[in-house]
Amino acid sequence: MTRKELQEEILSILTDDFEFENPGLDDNLRDDHGFDSIDAIELLAKIEKILGFTLDRKEKEQAMSIRTINDILNYIEALADSRKS
């Protein structure tokens, strides 16, 4: 999946499932859209489906630094790359 395809998928999830309106790639998820820890857990489950594998504890902990949609995209790409190695 290309970054553009991944971006479209994440934006679709955020607008459809989390009711974001016009999300920007550098918006702060918490401050600009009211994203909370429960939302983060739900999003991680959706990311696992996109990737096709279950995240381990360390990978989930790494998600705690995510603040923007660009962070989400970078996180998913890094996870996918680490699993290829």
Q: Summarize the confidence of residues 3-9 as an average pLDDT.
A: 96
More confident residue, 84 or 69: 69
Residues 6+ apart with CB under 8 A from 55: 44, 47, 48, 63, 79
Mean pLDDT of 41-61: 94
Set out the domains of the chain in order of their start, with CATH numbers. 3-84 (1.10.1200.10)
With b for 16 or more beta-carbon neighbours within 10 A and e for fewer, the 34-46 pattern comes to: ebeeebbeebeee
pTM of whole model > 0.75?
A: yes
* Residue 85 banded pLDDT, cuts 50, 70, 90: low
